[in-house]
Amino acid sequence: MKPRNDFPQTLLEAIRYFSNIDTCIEFLVSQRWPDGVTCPICGTQDVHYLANQRRWKCSNPHSLRQFSIKVGTIFEDSPIGLDKWLTATWMLAACKNGISSYEIHRGLGVTQKTAWFMMHRIRKAMQDGSFLKFAGHVEVDETFIGGKARNMHMDVKKRRITGSGPTDKTAVFGVLERGDEGKRKINHTKVRTAVVSDRKKKTLQAEVRANVKAGSALYSDALMSYNGLEAEYAHQVVDHAVEYVRGKVHTNGLENFWSLTDRTIGGTYVSVEPFHLFRYLDEQSFRFNNRGTRYLPVNDADRFKMVVGGIVGKRLTFDELTGKDGTTQAECF
């Protein structure tokens, strides 16, 4: 199978393009198996296509010899057609402020519960999973994220709001690697986030060491939890009670990211359960990290292909998503 060369560039074109199931399969094959279809069980390429079933059959004798394009991906065991899956993926990858499950429910003709499940599975594909540490000029900052009481239903408000300030919000840590300076910015800033249990020194400094290469220029605010990092990093502090910028010493990049995240959650998702917050952060980080530059543009089609490139090996079941399998929030990272 060879992919067509008239790949869509807009949502309308994508809907038309992926309306044919065979086109969907051809596209996914080109992304998943560019060197030829491979059996997900034994790894052989000695397979043949069953056109009437739209499945492949492996020539080696073992269980599950027949397999579809969905096997081993976020689409596995889903009765939803690939036309709807790929359209939903395009929409989530392209919409700067996210897209609610109710919009997917109305637009694709699936139930809201199904749309919500689909969105989380697509967010799973957006996870970076890189173990490379940031280097160069790096900002670190933390914030609290939680739904606004005025946007909540009364029963949710009673359950979620028990105090004032950050009492009922979730602590989130962020690290940002600054991109190129000057006019020709080929490499832009990139961000990485994690939900943390608290803002104590042990917690935050462990995150810094896990994500930032020793010797890097490190910028933070005046939170006491960052004290002591000078031995490992070129650490400089900006005290927001006095100033917000002192030359290169600032955390404005992360402040900008937190602002975008707050608008996305508050404006689109309204209220996010702490158990699922890291998935929404993965979504926001993905779009932020793949926004492109003037000299290296990235469009909606490019981001869509990036998400599709991450669908393999990231299956997410409904029991795991809802915690019915005993999974805790910490185990989901």
- Helix or strand run (H / E) with residue 61: none
Query: Quick one: average pLDDT of 71-93?
Result: 96
Q: How confident is the model at residue 329 (pLDDT cuts 50, 70, 90)?
A: very low
| Closest C-alpha to 176, from 155, 192, 200 | 192
Per-chain mean pLDDT for the chain: 89
- The tokens describing 296, both together, are 């290296």
| CATH architecture of structural domain 130-272 | 2-Layer Sandwich (3.30)
Domain ranges within the chain, ordered by starting residue? 1-32+70-127+277-333, 130-272
- Rounded to 5 degrees, φ, ψ at 177 are -100, 120
Q: What is the pLDDT of residues 213-265, one digit of tens each?
A: 999 999 999 999 999 999 999 999 999 999 999 999 999 999 999 999 999 99
- Rounded to 5 degrees, φ, ψ at 54 are 55, 45
Provide the pLDDT for residue 332: 41
Nearest-5° angle of CA 288, CA 244, CA 141? 45
On whether the pTM is more than 0.85, the answer is yes
Q: How confident is the model at residue 297 (pLDDT cuts 50, 70, 90)?
A: confident
Cα–Cα distance list, 121 to 175, 318, 321 (Å): 25, 9, 9
Q: How confident is the model at residue 323 (pLDDT cuts 50, 70, 90)?
A: confident
Is residue 250 within 8 A of residue 178, CB to CB? The reply is no
Cα–Cα distance list, 7 to 20, 52, 114, 124, 240 (Å): 13, 25, 28, 24, 48
Provide the pLDDT for residue 116: 96
* DSSP code string of 304-316: HHHHHTT-BT---
| Closest C-alpha to 103, from 22, 7, 11, 170 | 11
Is residue 118 within 8 A of residue 75, CB to CB? The reply is no
Orientation of helix 82-94 relative to helix 112-126, angle to 10°: 60
Query: Quick one: average pLDDT of 49-71?
Result: 95
Which residue type occupies 266?
G
| Closest C-alpha to 28, from 78, 92, 72 | 72
Residue 135 backbone zone (phi > 0: left; psi -120 to 50: alpha; other: beta): beta
DSSP code of residue 198: -
Q: What is the pLDDT of residues 161-202, one digit of tens each?
A: 554 445 578 999 999 999 877 656 667 899 999 999 999 999
Orientation of helix 300-308 relative to helix 112-126, angle to 10°: 90
Is residue 113 within 8 A of residue 268, CB to CB? The reply is no
Provide the pLDDT for residue 182: 62
Distance CA 98, CA 113 (A): 17
| Closest C-alpha to 74, from 87, 85, 58, 63 | 85
Distance CA 325, CA 318 (A): 9
